[in-house]
């Protein structure tokens, strides 16, 4: 935990000892009353927190905030809904890499049951964003959206973006970095790949197919590799 994040409403409240952040402060960072630590407000500024006191049930904290953190990179992920354990990794890594948004949709070759996972039902997904942002020493979280199908997901995309879909089978070229980070939508299918109708839809809506080389990668690895390529020239 390189940065300890707090929701704006939490900043003035005692931090319960049962909270993992309290355990990290006391047991990992070994902070005592009067000590400071790196803190951030979710989607707000970074700054310094100070341990004011440690009680039987909670820690009292004070904060001094600096300037807001920079905006996220203009990279938007369009993702065929993967299995929950893969989605957890993608959420954390995407937040750490600083993408602006993730849009999930149930793909034709995916499992419909993935959408009903407790990951999405119980709000667990947001914790993985927080972990990724804290790892990256950032406060900003990407937007997470869901669409009922690929067509709806494409219809909701921001305008003015380059469009690239990763594909192992029919892509004519390798994904390569440009001269700068430009607004880009990067589409990745599920573990089983795109269906033929999905490829047709992607092409007809302006997506260029690209690949990452001859090796078949896990979805979460492909996300990291592709975003890193897009950011390489930034």
Q: What does the pLDDT average to over 216-229? A: 94
Architecture of the domain made up of 73-231: 3-Layer(aba) Sandwich (3.40)
Q: What's the pLDDT score for residue 178? A: 72
Distance CA(200)–CA(179), nearest Å, equals 29
Is residue 53 within a helix (H) or strand (E), and if so which, with residue range? strand 45-54
Residue boundaries of the structural domains of the chain = 4-68, 73-231
Kindly state the tokens that stand for 212.
């990452």
Sign of CA dihedral 222, 228, 232, 234: positive
In the chain, which residue ranges form alpha helices assigned H by DSSP?
20-23, 84-97, 118-121, 124-135, 150-155, 196-204, 219-231
Q: What's the pLDDT score for residue 234? A: 58
Which one, of 81, 172, 83, 92, lies nearest residue 132 by Cα? 92
Strand-strand pairing, 184-188 and 73-80: parallel
Sign of CA dihedral 120, 124, 130, 131: negative
pTM score, whole prediction: 0.94
35-59 pLDDT, tens digit per residue, is: 999 999 999 999 999 999 999 999 9
Cβ partners under 8 Å of residue 125, min gap 6: 87, 88, 91, 119, 144
Q: What's the pLDDT score for residue 179? A: 62
Name the band, by pLDDT with cuts 50, 70 and 90, for residue 211: very high
Class in CATH terms, 4-68 = mainly beta
Q: What does the pLDDT average to over 77-98? A: 97
């Amino acid at each position: 935990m390189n940065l300890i994040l707090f929701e704006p409403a939490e900043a003035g409240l005692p931090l319960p000892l049962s909270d993992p952040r309290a355990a990290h402060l006391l047991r990992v960072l070994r902070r005592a009353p009067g000590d400071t630590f790196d803190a951030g407000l979710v989607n707000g500024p970074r700054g310094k927190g100070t341990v004011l006191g440690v009680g039987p049930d909670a820690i009292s904290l004070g904060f001094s905030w600096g300037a807001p953190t920079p905006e996220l990179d203009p990279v938007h992920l369009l993702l065929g809904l993967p299995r929950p354990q893969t989605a957890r990794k993608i959420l954390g890594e995407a937040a750490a890499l600083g993408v602006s948004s993730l849009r999930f949709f149930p793909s034709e070759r995916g499992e419909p049951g993935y959408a009903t996972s407790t990951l999405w039902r119980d709000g667990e997904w947001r914790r993985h964003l927080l972990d990724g942002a804290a790892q990256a020493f950032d406060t900003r979280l990407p937007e997470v959206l869901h669409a009922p199908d690929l067509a709806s997901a494409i219809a909701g995309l921001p305008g003015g973006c380059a469009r690239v879909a990763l594909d192992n089978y029919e892509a004519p070229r390798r994904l390569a970095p440009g001269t700068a980070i430009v607004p880009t939508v990067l589409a990745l299918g599920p573990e089983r790949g795109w269906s033929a109708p999905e490829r047709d839809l992607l092409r007809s809506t302006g997506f260029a197919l690209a690949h990452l080389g001859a090796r078949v990668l896990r979805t979460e690895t492909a996300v990291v590799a592709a975003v890193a390529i897009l950011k390489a020239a930034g």
